[in-house]
């Protein structure tokens, strides 16, 4: 197994451990549909049209964005090899002094060091929000 694979699996472990989910770009599309139909309803039917257009738009927007909320481990494993390499390089700036032989050792080293764990999680979330333009939130 390559070091890139080790780091990607570590990212999955970090994000699963903290119950992190992402919302990819489709959520803006859903909001635009809801607002657009409310506006069109208002033009055609006045205040009652706004209510009907907003309700229909909300349902349509919800349908359009179904499946857009994904657990972060799923997002990480779906990254292209180029995206994984870039994420790996970002995280290796933090892991540069950490020496490991396998995934189990790397996971134990990171999970046992709260500062390192926090730095890696921050870098991971920064990459996801910047490069994938995704919103990140914690599941209760």
1 and 112 Cβ atoms separated by less than 8 Å:
no
Convert 57-93 to b/e letters by CB count within 10 Å (16 or more is b): bbeebeebbeebeebbbebbeebeeeebeebbebbee
38 and 50 Cβ atoms separated by less than 8 Å:
yes
Look up tokens 């197994």; give the residue: 1
* pLDDT digits (tens), the chain, 140 positions: 689 999 999 988 887 776 665 655 444 444 554 555 556 556 666 766 666 555 555 555 555 544 456 777 888 888 899 999 999 999 999 999 999 999 999 999 999 999 999 999 899 988 988 887 777 666 65
Among 24, 48, 29, residue whose Cα is nearest residue 38: 48
Cα 65 from Cα 134, distance rounded (Å): 13
pLDDT of residue 41: 56
Q: E-strand spans in the chain?
A: 20-23, 69-71, 135-138
101 and 1 Cβ atoms separated by less than 8 Å:
no
pLDDT of residue 132: 77
- In the DSSP assignment, the letter for residue 101 is S
């Amino acid at each position: 197994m390559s070091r890139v694979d080790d780091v990607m699996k570590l990212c999955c472990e970090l994000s699963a451990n903290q119950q992190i989910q992402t919302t990819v770009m489709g959520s803006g599309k859903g909001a635009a549909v809801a607002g657009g139909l409310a506006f069109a309803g208002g033009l055609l039917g006045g205040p009652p049209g706004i209510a009907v257009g907003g309700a229909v738009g909300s349902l349509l927007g919800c349908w359009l964005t179904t499946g857009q909320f994904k657990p972060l481990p799923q997002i990480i494993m779906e990254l292209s090899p180029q995206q994984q390499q870039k994420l790996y390089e970002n995280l290796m700036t933090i892991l540069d002094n950490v020496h490991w032989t396998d995934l189990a050792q790397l996971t134990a080293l990171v999970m046992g060091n709260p500062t390192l764990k926090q730095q890696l999680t921050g870098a991971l979330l920064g990459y996801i929000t910047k490069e994938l333009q995704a919103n990140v939130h914690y599941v209760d």
